[in-house]
């Protein structure tokens, strides 16, 4: 962000890995979006891409990894 002159408050990290993407965003002060349909889908009891995870399951999993997303989405497609 320093290289391109972007402030952390103007950034958001999007990822499906709590232990990498979301935890790192927490560490550097960036808001984050956790996509539940990725690598943690099985842990969240999801059977397919785009399934909606129960909020309490997301909170429990976030606590397990000590990684707390600002927002939660079932998927992110562009």
Q: Break the chain into its structural domains and give their ranges.
A: 8-73
Interval 34-61 mean pLDDT: 89
**Distance between first and last Cα of the chain:** 22
pLDDT of amino acid 2: 80
Q: Given a cut of 80, is residue 49 above it in pLDDT?
A: no
- Give exposure, 60-70, as e/b (b: 16+ Cβ within 10 Å): ebbeeeebebe
**Mean pLDDT rounded to a whole number for the chain:** 91
Give strand pairing partners of 14.
Answer: 33
Specify the CATH number of the domain 8-73: 3.40.50.1000
Interval 25-47 mean pLDDT: 92
* pLDDT band at residue 20 using 50, 70 and 90 as cut-offs: very high
Please enumerate in sequence order all residues whose Cβ is within 8 A of that of 47, keeping only pairs 6 or more positions apart, or say none: none
Alpha-carbon distance 63 to 76, whole Å?
Answer: 22
In this prediction the pTM is 0.87
């Amino acid at each position: 962000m320093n290289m391109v002159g972007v402030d952390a408050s103007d950034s958001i990290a999007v990822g499906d890995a709590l232990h990498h993407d979301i935890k790192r965003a927490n560490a550097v002060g960036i808001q984050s979006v956790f996509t539940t349909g990725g690598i943690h889908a099985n842990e969240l009891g999801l059977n397919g891409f785009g399934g909606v995870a129960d909020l309490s399951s997301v909170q429990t999993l976030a606590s397990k990894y000590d990684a707390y997303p600002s927002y939660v989405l079932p998927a992110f497609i562009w």
